Amino acid sequence: MGQSDPVLVPEVSQHEVRVRQGFTGTELLLFGAVLNPEGRAGQGYDIVVVLKGPAEPIRLREKERFAGVWVNAQSNDFRSVPSFFAVASSRPISEIVDEKTAAIYEFGTAYIQLSPSGSIDPEEQLRFALGLVDLKQRQGLYKEDMDGVQITENVLYQARISLPSNVTTGTYTAETFAVTEGRVIASAIAEVEVRKVGMERRVEEFSQDFGLAYGLVAVLLSVFMGWGAGRVFARL
């Protein structure tokens, strides 16, 4: 980037999201300003915001019907899958940059870098990748809003992105890009920490520190609840 390129000053409405019992999701406001090196307003920029959750490895299994029963068939491993992914832009991405640039900066769910592993056929790999993205979209964890960024007087911008109740805890990165004539000329990152508090936090810590004990407690609790339900229905 040259000395005449603008400077992005990003901010987030919440730098910490607390997940407690009854959490139904929340909305993040990502906002900021685009300034040139002299501190004046910029002109003619598009803004793209990419919000990503912590990456995690995933094995995606495909099911097929065999003798009237659904069984696991092929599977594919992905080394680095964002647990949450959202893109908001001031215009449709296809009107802002070309496909190569969109792929470099992950400007859309079609361009997420999932890092597949294994020696599976490329066409099969693509099919699994599309299936994974579709699954995440149906879970409300992957989303796009091609008219989700509002720009005021070529200086201020804002975008609203909803986090659903089933978000993964960890550090989320909100990266903002300023684009002009198909070229990314400035970028900046803000972080949001999503963490559990209260009883949910204690249960999570117990499951991580004492995995075997947590598993035994979960099994015993399930057995007890099943036995209790059986006793209740037996009396009806």
Q: Which of 146, 147, 151 lies closest to 178, judged by CA?
A: 151
3-state secondary structure of 134: helix
The predicted structure's pLDDT at residue 121: 74
Residue by residue, pLDDT tens for the chain (236 residues) are: 555 677 888 999 988 999 888 888 899 999 998 887 654 555 678 999 999 999 999 888 776 666 556 555 677 888 889 999 999 999 999 999 999 999 999 999 999 998 877 666 778 888 888 989 999 999 999 999 999 999 988 889 999 999 999 999 999 999 999 999 999 999 999 999 998 875 555 555 445 555 565 466 556 666 666 655 556 556 65
φ, ψ (nearest 5 deg) of residue 10? -90, 155
φ, ψ (nearest 5 deg) of residue 18? -100, 120
96, 46 contact by CB (below 8 A): yes
> Residue 177: which residues within 8 A CB-CB, separation 6 or more?
8, 47, 48, 49, 50, 105, 107, 184, 186, 187
The predicted structure's pLDDT at residue 217: 55
The predicted structure's pLDDT at residue 5: 72
Q: Are strands 46-52 and 69-82 parallel, antiparallel or unpaired?
A: unpaired
H helix or E strand, kind and range, residue 189: strand 183-196
Give the orientation angle of helix 211-234 with respect to helix 199-209, to 10 degrees: 120
Number of Cβ atoms within 10 Å of the Cβ of 46: 21
The domain 7-197 is classified under which CATH number: 2.160.10.10, 3.30.460.20, 2.60.40.1930, 2.40.10.220?
Answer: 2.60.40.1930
161, 140 contact by CB (below 8 A): no
149, 157 contact by CB (below 8 A): yes
Task: Say what the pTM is.
Answer: 0.76
φ, ψ (nearest 5 deg) of residue 41? -70, 145
